[in-house]
């Protein structure tokens, strides 16, 4: 099982071979060969990448409206876009931000976990694991420009990054609020948060399902900077420039050293983690809780 990550077939290989991932519609909108001119956008139905090869940086924008929910298709497209950037040596860093006003990402798609088959739950959870592993272990410098609300899975995605900049807007809270939905954050969610804010703060935040407004997010350390909303992306680009002053090999080896134990813990337990998730999410009580929550969301929209 420890070799699982090393032997998986990268999504880009499947794309090149013309294969279709099970349950995933990739819908690439523009094929870009040779980004060296730095002038062309590329992406997929739900991800827009704006490359600047001259600066060695790309801005990856989440665009799965209305709230960038991490559906199975969206998870896969994000991984493919990151892999494409990692395999173009003209890029050293990525700014991750949202194209949906007011929301960075609402997190995992609860409709993927409700009323479906165990096989679907397993497929969805494997895609969630894959996103975390790819982003957490990326050799690129990853900086989050958090320009909207960022709960649960959205928060997890930013926690995989090297640096986080949050817009100073009281509506833009960030945190792992799973317990508020009657579910439990998996151990690797917990590990990632604990690595960022420490054990005691993580324990309190996870038990209470806390969502931190900007000032509290900065105080607890879940973000590194809070700036006016119009300065979020420019601040993220300035931060990434600082990280890129460090020689890549030294920074990458240090990052791998710091993150190896956390990543290895999931890699060695991937199958068991999937089985635990499927068993948990399939329980009648959990399904009822999710259904009630989804119904309340529909009523609010109505």
pLDDT digit string, tens, across residues 179-214: 988 888 999 999 999 999 999 999 999 999 999 999
- Percent of the chain whose pLDDT exceeds 70: 85
The pLDDT value recorded for residue 162 is 98
Lowest model confidence (mean pLDDT) among 30-44, 49-63, 151-165, 264-278: 30-44
Q: Does residue 155 register a pLDDT over 60? A: yes
**Structure confidence at residue 126 as a pLDDT band (50, 70, 90):** very high
Q: How far apart are CA 71 and CA 111, in angstroms?
A: 8
Residue 301 pLDDT exceeds 90: no
| Mean pLDDT rounded to a whole number for the chain | 87
- Three-class secondary structure of residue 144 per DSSP: strand
HSE-up (13 A, CA, CB side) for residue 148: 21
pLDDT of the residue at 299: 78
Residues known to be catalytic = 108, 153, 177-178
Residue 88 burial (CB count, 10 A): 15
pLDDT of 120:
96
For residue 246, how many C-alpha atoms fall within 13 Å in the half-sphere facing its CB? 16
In the chain the beta strands, taken as DSSP E runs, fall at 42-43, 47-52, 57-62, 69-70, 93-98, 102-103, 107-108, 141-146, 148-151, 163-167, 174-175, 225-227
pLDDT at 15 over 80: no
Instruction: Evaluate if residue 236 carries a pLDDT over 70.
Output: yes
Mean pLDDT of 227-256: 96
Mean predicted confidence (pLDDT) in 34-38: 41
Residues 102, 229 contacting (CB under 8 angstroms): no
State the greatest distance between any 2 C-alpha atoms of the chain, in Å, as a whole number.
54
What span, in angstroms and rounded, lies between the C-alpha atoms of 132 and 293?
A: 25
Determine the pLDDT at residue 183: 83
CA distance linking residue 72 with residue 231, whole number of Å: 31
pLDDT value at 10 more than 80? no
In order of 9, 220, 222, 229, the CA distances from 210 in angstroms are 37, 11, 12, 22
* Residue 150 DSSP SS3: strand
Predicted pLDDT of residue 53? 79
% of the chain beyond a pLDDT of 90: 75
- Is residue 38 predicted with pLDDT exceeding 80? no
For 39-300, which CATH superfamily applies?
2-enoyl-CoA Hydratase; Chain A, domain 1 (3.90.226.10)
Q: How confident is the model at residue 298 (pLDDT cuts 50, 70, 90)?
A: confident
The pTM of the whole model exceeds 0.75: yes
Q: Which residues pair with 151 in a beta bridge?
A: 175
């Amino acid at each position: 099982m420890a070799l699982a990550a090393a032997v998986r077939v990268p999504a880009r290989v499947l794309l090149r071979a013309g294969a279709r991932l099970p349950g995933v519609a990739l819908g690439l909108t523009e094929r870009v060969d040779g980004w060296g001119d730095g002038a062309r956008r590329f992406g997929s139905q739900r991800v827009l990448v704006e490359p600047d090869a001259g600066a060695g940086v790309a801005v990856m924008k989440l665009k799965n409206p209305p709230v960038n929910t991490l559906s199975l298709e969206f998870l896969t497209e994000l991984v493919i876009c990151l892999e494409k950037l990692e395999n173009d040596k003209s890029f050293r860093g990525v700014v991750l931000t949202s194209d949906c006003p007011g929301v960075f990402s609402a997190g995992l798609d609860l409709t993927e976990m409700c009323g479906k088959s165990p096989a679907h739950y397993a497929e969805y959870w494997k895609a969630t694991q894959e996103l975390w592993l790819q982003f957490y272990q990326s050799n690129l410098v990853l900086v989050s420009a958090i320009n909207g609300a960022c709960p649960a899975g959205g928060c997890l995605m930013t926690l995989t990054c090297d640096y986080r900049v949050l817009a100073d807007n009281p509506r833009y809270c960030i945190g792992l609020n799973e317990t508020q939905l009657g579910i439990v954050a998996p151990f690797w969610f917990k590990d990632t948060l604990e690595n960022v804010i420490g054990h005691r703060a993580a324990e309190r935040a996870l038990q209470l399902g806390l969502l931190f407004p900007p000032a509290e997010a900065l105080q607890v350390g879940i973000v590194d900077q809070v700036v006016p909303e119009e300065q979020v992306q420019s601040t993220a680009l300035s931060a990434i420039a600082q990280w890129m002053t460090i020689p890549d090999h030294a920074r990458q080896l240090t990052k791998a050293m710091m993150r190896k134990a956390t990543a290895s813990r999931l890699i060695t337990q991937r199958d068991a983690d999937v089985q635990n998730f499927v068993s948990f999410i399939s329980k009648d009580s959990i399904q009822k809780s999710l259904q009630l929550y989804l119904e309340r969301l529909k009523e609010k929209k109505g």
